[in-house]
Amino acid sequence: MAKKSSKRVAKRKTKRSRSSKGKAGVPQEVTPSRHLKENLEMKDLVAVRNLLEKRLKEGGTTVYEIPRDSIKINELTMNEALKRINDVALDLVNQIKITGSPTFKIPNRSSSNIIYDEKQDLLLLGQKTTNKSLLTLTSAQDSARLMKVLEIIHELLRKKKHMTKREVYYGDVNLFQDQKFSDASIEDASTLLRTTRNSTGIVAKARGSAVGRLRLKDRNEIIDLDAQGSGAWSITPMIDQVEVLESDAEFILVLEKDAAMMRLIEEKWWRKYPCIALTAEGVGNVATRMFLKKINRDLRLPTFSVVDADPYGHYIYSVYIRGSKRLSYETPFLATPDMHLLGVLSQDLDEYGIDYSCRIPMNKIDMKRLDDILAEPYVQANKRWKEDLELMKKTKMKAEIQALSSHGIEYLTDTYLPNKLYSGDWI
Amino acid sequence: MAKKTNTSTSKKHSEPSRRKSRAKSEVKSISGAPQEVIRQGSVAEFFRKRTQLVGFDFGLNKHTQYCIEFLDNSLDAIESFYWKESKRHPEYTFKLKDDLLLQNFSYLAGGVSEKDLQDLEERLNSERVDDAGYSLTEDGTLAILPEEHKEDEELIIEEELPKTDESSPEDDEEAKKLRMLQKKDEERAQEVQNILEGIKNFIFPIQVLVEREPFVIIQLTEREAQDVFADASQTKKEVLEYDFEIFDNGTGMSPTDLEKFGKYLASSKSQKLRQTRGSQGFGSPSAFSDAQNTTGKPVTVVSKDINHIYGIASQFYTTSKNNKEYVVTPTEIDCPFEHGTYIRLQYINVKYRKGYIDSYIQMTALTNPHITIIFLDPYGGETIYPRRVSRFPREPTYALPHPSSVNIGDFQDLLRTSNKLSLSVFLQDNFVRLSSSMAKDILFNAEFELEKQLNLLNLDHGVITWAHNELEKIYFIRKEKRIFGRAKKPREKWVVYSIEKSEDLKQYWDIILPFNKILDDIKRKNKEIKKLNKKISTLSVKKEISSIKKEISTLEKGIAANLKEINRQKKKLSQIVKIFSLNADSEVSDVKITDKLEENVKELLISQARPNSLTQKQTEALFKAFKAQKFMKPPSDPAVPIGASVLETTLIKEYNLNPAFRTDLFHDIEYIIEPLTQKESQNFSYRILYKFLQEPYLNPNFSTKDLLLDDREHELEEYRTLFLKFDALYNIEEDFIYAHTRPPTSGKGLAFVVEAGIALSPKIPQAKTAQQVLLRYVNRTPKMRDNSDCAIWKGCQMVNWKNYKLDTFDNGIPKGSIRILVNVSGPYVHLMFKSQSKNALAEDEILLKEIKYCLETIGRKIRNYQNRKIRRENRRKRSKVIEKYIPIFVSSLVNIIKNTDLEQVPDRKELESQIYMRLEGKLEVPEEKPESSEKGTENFEKIKEKINKQKKALEKEKEPTITKEKAPNSELKRESSISVKPRSILKKENTSQSDVKHIPSHAPKSVEKVDDIIKKWKKGAEHPKSAKKIIKVKDSDIIKKKTIKKNTPKVRKSTQSKLTPRKAFTSKISAPKVTTQTKSSEPPKKLTKPSSKIRIITTDTILKTLENQNWVNIKDLIKLLDIKDVKDARYLQLKLKQLTREKKVLLTIQSGRTYWKLNKAEVNL
Nearest Cβ partner for A100 among B897, B902, B923: B923
pLDDT at B388 over 90: no
* DSSP 8-state symbol, B393: P
A and B: number of Cβ contacts within 8 A: 86
Give chain A positions within 8 Å (CB) of B918.
Answer: 99-101, 135
Task: Report the SS3 class of residue B400.
Answer: coil
Give chain A positions within 8 Å (CB) of B881.
Answer: 137, 140-141
**A323-367 residue pLDDT tens:** 777 777 677 778 888 888 988 888 888 888 888 888 889 999 999
Which of B883, B885, B899 has the highest number of chain A CBs within 10 A, making it the mutation to test binding with A? Answer: B885
Nearest Cβ partner for A148 among B888, B923, B925: B888
Which pLDDT does position A29 carry in this prediction?
Answer: 56
Residue B987 parent element (H or E):
helix B981-994
**A384-420 residue pLDDT tens:** 899 999 999 998 888 888 888 888 888 888 888 888 8
Asked if residues B577 and B459 have their Cβ atoms less than 8 Å apart, the reply is yes
Instruction: Note whether B881 contacts A102, CB cutoff 8 Å.
Output: no
Interface residue A175 vs chain B (CB under 8 A): yes
Give chain B positions within 8 Å (CB) of A82.
Answer: 900
Asked if residues B600 and B456 have their Cβ atoms less than 8 Å apart, the reply is yes
Asked if residues B383 and B283 have their Cβ atoms less than 8 Å apart, the reply is no
Lowest-confidence range among B278-287, B933-942, B1070-1079? B1070-1079
How many other C-beta atoms are found inside a 10 Å radius of the C-beta of residue B1048?
9
Which tops the pLDDT comparison, B548 or B980?
B548
Interface residue A140 vs chain B (CB under 8 A): yes
Which pLDDT does position B899 carry in this prediction?
Answer: 79
Interface residue B907 vs chain A (CB under 8 A): no
Q: Is the dihedral of CA B431, B434, B437, B440 positive or negative?
A: negative
**B608-642 residue pLDDT tens:** 888 888 888 888 888 888 888 888 777 777 788 88
Give chain A positions within 8 Å (CB) of B925.
Answer: 99, 101
Give chain B positions within 8 Å (CB) of A151.
Answer: 892-893, 895-896
**B588-610 residue pLDDT tens:** 777 888 888 888 888 888 888 88
pLDDT at B876 over 90: no
Interface residue A10 vs chain B (CB under 8 A): no
Instruction: Note whether A155 contacts B885, CB cutoff 8 Å.
Output: no
Q: For B917, which residue in chain A has the nearest alpha carbon? A: A100
Is A360 exposed, middle or buried (CB count within 10 Å of its CB: 0-12, 13-18, 19+)? middle
pLDDT at B1010 over 70: no
CA distances from B551 to A420, B529, B532, B544, B558 (A): 101, 8, 8, 11, 11
CA distance B911 to chain A (A): 6
Nearest Cβ partner for A97 among B890, B896, B914: B914
Instruction: Note whether B919 contacts A100, CB cutoff 8 Å.
Output: yes
**B69-99 residue pLDDT tens:** 888 888 888 888 888 877 776 655 555 455 5
pLDDT at B378 over 70: yes
Q: For A139, which residue in chain B has the nearest alpha carbon? A: B882
Nearest Cβ partner for B885 among A93, A96, A134: A134
Which of A84, A86, A160 has the highest number of chain B CBs within 10 A, making it the mutation to test binding with B? Answer: A86
Give chain B positions within 8 Å (CB) of A136.
Answer: 882
Asked if residues B336 and B380 have their Cβ atoms less than 8 Å apart, the reply is no
Interface residue A344 vs chain B (CB under 8 A): no
Query: What is the average pLDDT value for chain B, to the nearest integer?
Result: 69
Instruction: Note whether B897 contacts A98, CB cutoff 8 Å.
Output: no
Instruction: Note whether A154 contacts B902, CB cutoff 8 Å.
Output: no
CA distance A204 to chain B (A): 23
Which pLDDT does position B171 carry in this prediction?
Answer: 53
Catalytic residue, chosen from A64, A116, A169, A170, is A170
Long-range contacts of A386-393, Cβ-Cβ distance < 8 Å, separation of 24 or more: A388/A345, A388/A346, A388/A347, A388/A427, A389/A311, A389/A314, A389/A346, A391/A16, A391/A346, A391/A347, A392/A309, A392/A310, A392/A311, A392/A346, A392/A362, A393/A367
Which tops the pLDDT comparison, B176 or B619?
B619
Which pLDDT does position B971 carry in this prediction?
Answer: 41
Which of A87, A94, A131, A154 has the highest number of chain B CBs within 10 A, making it the mutation to test binding with B? Answer: A154
Residue B514 parent element (H or E):
helix B502-538
Give chain A positions within 8 Å (CB) of B915.
Answer: 96, 100-102, 134-135
In the Cβ-directed half-sphere of B1031, how many Cα atoms lie within 13 Å?
23
Q: Which range has highest mean pLDDT (B814-823, B859-868, B977-986)?
A: B814-823
The beta strands (E) that lie in A238-364 are given as 242-246, 251-255, 275-279, 303-306, 339-343, 360-361
Q: How confident is residue B61, by pLDDT bands cut at 50, 70 and 90?
A: confident
Integer Cα distance of A38 and B940 in angstroms: 92
Segment B122-148 mean pLDDT: 41
B782 - beta bridge partners? B777
Interface residue A148 vs chain B (CB under 8 A): yes
pLDDT at A106 over 80: yes
Interface residue B900 vs chain A (CB under 8 A): yes
Q: For B919, which residue in chain A has the nearest alpha carbon? A: A135
Interface residue B895 vs chain A (CB under 8 A): yes
Q: How confident is residue B756, by pLDDT bands cut at 50, 70 and 90?
A: very high
- Which is nearest to B935 in space by CA: B1079, B1069, B833, B1031? B1031
Question: Which residues, other chains included, contact B499 with Cβ-Cβ below 8 Å and sequence gap of 6+?
Answer: B464, B474, B475, B476, B505, B508, B580, B582, B586
How many other C-beta atoms are found inside a 10 Å radius of the C-beta of residue B595?
12
Helix orientation angle between B423-430 and B408-417, rounded to the nearest 10 degrees? 120
Give chain A positions within 8 Å (CB) of B906.
Answer: 93, 97
Long-range contacts of B44-50, Cβ-Cβ distance < 8 Å, separation of 24 or more: B44/B263, B44/B264, B44/B285, B44/B289, B44/B318, B44/B319, B44/B320, B44/B321, B44/B322, B45/B320, B45/B321, B45/B322, B47/B264, B47/B282, B47/B285, B47/B286, B47/B289, B48/B289, B48/B293, B48/B320
Q: What was the ipTM of the complex prediction?
A: 0.71
pLDDT at A14 over 70: no
pLDDT at B102 over 80: no
Nearest Cβ partner for B893 among A101, A137, A147: A147
pLDDT at B1099 over 80: no
- Which string of DSSP letters, residue by residue, matches B589-638? --HHHHHHHHHHHHHH-GGGS-GGG--HHHHHHHHHHHHHS--PPPPSTT
Could you give phi then psi for residue B443, rounded to 5 degrees?
-65, -40
Q: What are the b/e assignments for B792-823, b being 16+ CB within 10 Å? A: bbbbbbebebeebebebbeebbbbebbbbbbb
> What is chain A's length?
427
**A119-147 residue pLDDT tens:** 666 667 777 888 888 887 778 888 889 99
Which tops the pLDDT comparison, B580 or A347?
A347
- Which is nearest to A157 in space by CA: A90, A74, A80, A89? A80
Concerning whether A170 is annotated as a catalytic residue, the answer is yes
Which tops the pLDDT comparison, A206 or A22?
A206
Which pLDDT does position B273 carry in this prediction?
Answer: 65
Instruction: Note whether A93 contacts B893, CB cutoff 8 Å.
Output: yes
Instruction: Note whether B893 contacts A102, CB cutoff 8 Å.
Output: yes
Q: Which amino acid is at B244?
A: F
Which pLDDT does position B503 carry in this prediction?
Answer: 81
Interface residue A412 vs chain B (CB under 8 A): no
**B322-331 residue pLDDT tens:** 778 888 878 8
pLDDT at B666 over 50: no
CA distance A412 to chain B (A): 54
Instruction: Note whether B885 contacts A141, CB cutoff 8 Å.
Output: yes
Kindly give the residue spans of alpha helices, DSSP state H, lying in B368-464.
408-417, 423-430, 436-454
Instruction: Note whether A89 contacts B897, CB cutoff 8 Å.
Output: yes
Instruction: Note whether B899 contacts A101, CB cutoff 8 Å.
Output: no
Of all residues in chain B, the percent with pLDDT exceeding 70 is 63
Asked if residues B268 and B84 have their Cβ atoms less than 8 Å apart, the reply is no
Give chain B positions within 8 Å (CB) of A97.
Answer: 906, 911, 914
Give chain B positions within 8 Å (CB) of A99.
Answer: 918, 923, 925-926
Give chain B positions within 8 Å (CB) of A87.
Answer: none
